[in-house]
C-alpha cells in the first residue's frame, strides 16, 4: 500500500513540476478545456434560466391554477388542416354561454370572458401603436396576479355600467406618460376617452409574446367598441371556498358546456381546453429540443481541448525520453511511467475545468446583467462539464502515457 501511495504522490509531484516548468504552454493547452467548460456552464445556465423565466411568465400571464376554454385553444401554431377541423367541430363560445356557466356552476367556479385585439392608443400627440386591447371581466383580478404596480382593477359596477376605465401595461405607461403620473390620466382608444385607474409592473415577454403592451378594459366596453365578435375565450378558476382542485373545477365546466352544446355521451368535447400543465409541457418540450441540439455542440469544444492535451502530451513524452529511460533503468515499472503521464493529462484537464467553471459563473452573471434576464447555474450542468473534462483528460492522456511506458530504456537513454 505504501508503495502505491509513494508512486502516486511522486507521479503527482512530477506532473505539477512539468506543468509549472512550461507555464505558457500549459496555459495554452488549458484554453480548450476552459472555453469548453465555460460554454457548457453558460449554455446550461441560459437554458435553465429560460425555463424558470417561462414558468414565471406563464404564472403571471395565465395563472398557476387557472384554465382557459375556447373554440380553439392551443399552445403553438396549428396547421391549417387541424385548425379547420377544430373550427368545423367545435362550438363558438359567446357571452350567453358565459352567463350559462355562471348560472349553473358559478357558486363553485369563477369565470372571466376574454377577448383581445391590437389597436393604437393615444395621449395628446403621443401614440402607442399596436397595444393589445383586452376585454375582460372584473373577476380576472381575483383569478390571477396581474402584477399591478399602482392603482386598482375595475369593479363589477364599472363593468356592468360600461365605464370607460383602463389598466395599462408598463410599456404603454412609459410611452404615453414619459414625464407624468399615469394614474388618473386620460388616454384615447378609437377616439373615446379612458381613465387610467391602474398600471402593471414590468412583466417582460412570454416567448415571442410581449406582456407589457396590455390595455385592459371592461368586456362590456370592448363589445360596444368592436362588436360582439364570432367567439370568445373564457378563463375559469375554482373559488377558494369551494375546495375544488383545478381538475375538479374544469370537470364542472366541461360537464356544463357539454350539456349546453348537447354533446352526446362518449363523444369528444366540442370545445378546447388549455391548462397550465399543457403550457408547461410545451415549454419543457421546447427546452428539451434546445438541450439536445445545443449542449452536445458545446461539449465538442471539450473534445477539441482533449485533442490539444493529447498533442502536447505526445510532445512532452518526446522531450522527456531520456528522463523516462533514466527512471526505467533505476527500476521504474511500466505502470509507474504510465501513471506519471496520465496524472499530468488529467491534472491539466481538471485545472482547466476548475478555471472554466469559475469563468462560466462570471460570464453567467455578466450576461444576466446585460440582458436583464436571470441565468441559473445548476449542479447538473456543472457536474456534466467537470465529468466530461475529466473523461477527456483520461482519454487524451492514455495514449501518450501508454507510449511513454513502452519505451525501451536503452533506446530512451540514447535519445537526444
Residues 237 and 308 occupy one common structural domain: no
Percentage with pLDDT > 70 across the chain: 78
Least confident span in 31-40, 65-74, 391-400: 391-400
Residues 317 and 266 occupy one common structural domain: no
Domain that holds residue 362: 2-57+281-414
**Is 154's pLDDT higher than 80?**
yes
**Is 137's pLDDT higher than 80?**
yes
Residue 309: its pLDDT value, please? 74
393 within domain boundaries: yes
Residues 106 and 238 occupy one common structural domain: yes
Residues 149 and 199 occupy one common structural domain: yes
Residues 246 and 288 occupy one common structural domain: no
DSSP state of 242: G
Residues 96 and 133 occupy one common structural domain: yes
175 within domain boundaries: yes
**Is 181's pLDDT higher than 80?**
yes
75 within domain boundaries: no
Nearest to 385 by CA among 361, 365, 401: 361
Query: End-to-end CA distance of the chain, in Å?
Result: 36
Tell me the average pLDDT across 247-270: 88
379 within domain boundaries: yes
Residues 96 and 222 occupy one common structural domain: yes
Pairing of strands 192-200, 165-168: parallel
Pairing of strands 214-218, 126-136: parallel
Tell me the average pLDDT across 120-145: 91
Sign of the C-alpha dihedral computed for residues 145, 146, 149 and 154 taken in this order: negative
Pairing of strands 186-189, 192-200: antiparallel
Sign of the C-alpha dihedral computed for residues 204, 205, 206 and 212 taken in this order: positive
Nearest to 32 by CA among 376, 307, 386, 271: 307
70 within domain boundaries: no
Residue 19: its pLDDT value, please? 67
**Is 130's pLDDT higher than 80?**
yes
Query: How many of the other CB atoms lie within 10 Å of CB of 165?
Result: 21
Residues 209 and 348 occupy one common structural domain: no
- Better pLDDT: 150 or 15: 150
**Is 351's pLDDT higher than 60?**
yes
Residue 272 cell numbers, joined? 378546447
User: Angle 379-405/23-62 helices, nearest 10 degrees?
Assistant: 160
- Domain boundary residue, one of 270, 295, 320: 270
8 within domain boundaries: yes
209 within domain boundaries: yes
Residues 37 and 165 occupy one common structural domain: no
Residue 175: its pLDDT value, please? 93
Residue 236: its pLDDT value, please? 92
Residue 127: its pLDDT value, please? 92
Given the C-alpha cell 450576461, which residue does it identify? 367
The dihedral formed by the CA atoms of 296, 298, 304 and 306, expressed in degrees to the nearest 10: -80
**Is 275's pLDDT higher than 90?**
no
- Domain boundary residue, one of 270, 297, 313: 270
86 within domain boundaries: no
Q: Provide the number of structural domains found in the chain.
A: 2
Residues 102 and 183 occupy one common structural domain: yes
Find the length of the chain.
Answer: 416
DSSP string, 142-175: HHS---EEEE-PPPHHHHHTT--EEEE-HHHHHH
Contact between 125 and 305 (Cβ < 8 Å): no
CA distances for 51 relative to 39, 149, 210, 351, angstroms? 18, 25, 17, 31
Residue 204: its pLDDT value, please? 65
Residues 266 and 286 occupy one common structural domain: no
Task: Provide the mean pLDDT of the chain.
Answer: 80
Q: Which residues have a Cβ under 8 Å from the Cβ of 305 and sit 6 or more positions away?
A: 30, 31, 32, 33, 34, 35, 36, 349, 352, 389, 392
Residues 99 and 135 occupy one common structural domain: yes
- Domain boundary residue, one of 222, 242, 270: 270
Amino acid at each position: 500500500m505504501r508503495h502505491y501511495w509513494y508512486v502516486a504522490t511522486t507521479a503527482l509531484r512530477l506532473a505539477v513540476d512539468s506543468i509549472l516548468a512550461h507555464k505558457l504552454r500549459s496555459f495554452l493547452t488549458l484554453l480548450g478545456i476552459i472555453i469548453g467548460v465555460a460554454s457548457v456552464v453558460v449554455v446550461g445556465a441560459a437554458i435553465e434560466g429560460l425555463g424558470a423565466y417561462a414558468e414565471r411568465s406563464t404564472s403571471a400571464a395565465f395563472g398557476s391554477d387557472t384554465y382557459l376554454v375556447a373554440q380553439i385553444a392551443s399552445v403553438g401554431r396549428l396547421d391549417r388542416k387541424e385548425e379547420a377541423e377544430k373550427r368545423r367541430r367545435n362550438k363558438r363560445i359567446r357571452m350567453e354561454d358565459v352567463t350559462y356557466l355562471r348560472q349553473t356552476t358559478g357558486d363553485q367556479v369563477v369565470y372571466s370572458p376574454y377577448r383581445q385585439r391590437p389597436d393604437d392608443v393615444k395621449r395628446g400627440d403621443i401614440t402607442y401603436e399596436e397595444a393589445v386591447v383586452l376585454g375582460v371581466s372584473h373577476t380576472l383580478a381575483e383569478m390571477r396576479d396581474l402584477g399591478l404596480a399602482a392603482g386598482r382593477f375595475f369593479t363589477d359596477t364599472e363593468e356592468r355600467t360600461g365605464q370607460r376605465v383602463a389598466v395599462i401595461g408598463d410599456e404603454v405607461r412609459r410611452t404615453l406618460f414619459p414625464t407624468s403620473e399615469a394614474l388618473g390620466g386620460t388616454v384615447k382608444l378609437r377616439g373615446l376617452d379612458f381613465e387610467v385607474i391602474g398600471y402593471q409592473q414590468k412583466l417582460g415577454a412570454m416567448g415571442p409574446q410581449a406582456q407589457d403592451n396590455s390595455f385592459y378594459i371592461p368586456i362590456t366596453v370592448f363589445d360596444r367598441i368592436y362588436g360582439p365578435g364570432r367567439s370568445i375565450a373564457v378563463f375559469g378558476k375554482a373559488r377558494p371556498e369551494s375546495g375544488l382542485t383545478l381538475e375538479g373545477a374544469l370537470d364542472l365546466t366541461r360537464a356544463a358546456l357539454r350539456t349546453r352544446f348537447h354533446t352526446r355521451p362518449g363523444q369528444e368535447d366540442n370545445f378546447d381546453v388549455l391548462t397550465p400543465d399543457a403550457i408547461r409541457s410545451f415549454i419543457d418540450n421546447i427546452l428539451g429540443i434546445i438541450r439536445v441540439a445545443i449542449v452536445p455542440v458545446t461539449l465538442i469544444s471539450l473534445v477539441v481541448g482533449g485533442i490539444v492535451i493529447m498533442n502536447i502530451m505526445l510532445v512532452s513524452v518526446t522531450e522527456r525520453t531520456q528522463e523516462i529511460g533514466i527512471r526505467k533503468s533505476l527500476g521504474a515499472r511500466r505502470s509507474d511511467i504510465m501513471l506519471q503521464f496520465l496524472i499530468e493529462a488529467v491534472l491539466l484537464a481538471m485545472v482547466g475545468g476548475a478555471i472554466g467553471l469559475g469563468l462560466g459563473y462570471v460570464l453567467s452573471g455578466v450576461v444576466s446583467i446585460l440582458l436583464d434576464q436571470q441565468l441559473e447555474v445548476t449542479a447538473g450542468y456543472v457536474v456534466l462539464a467537470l465529468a466530461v473534462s475529466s473523461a477527456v483528460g483520461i482519454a487524451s492522456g492514455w495514449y501518450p502515457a501508454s507510449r511513454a511506458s513502452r519505451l525501451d530504456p536503452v533506446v530512451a537513454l540514447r535519445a537526444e
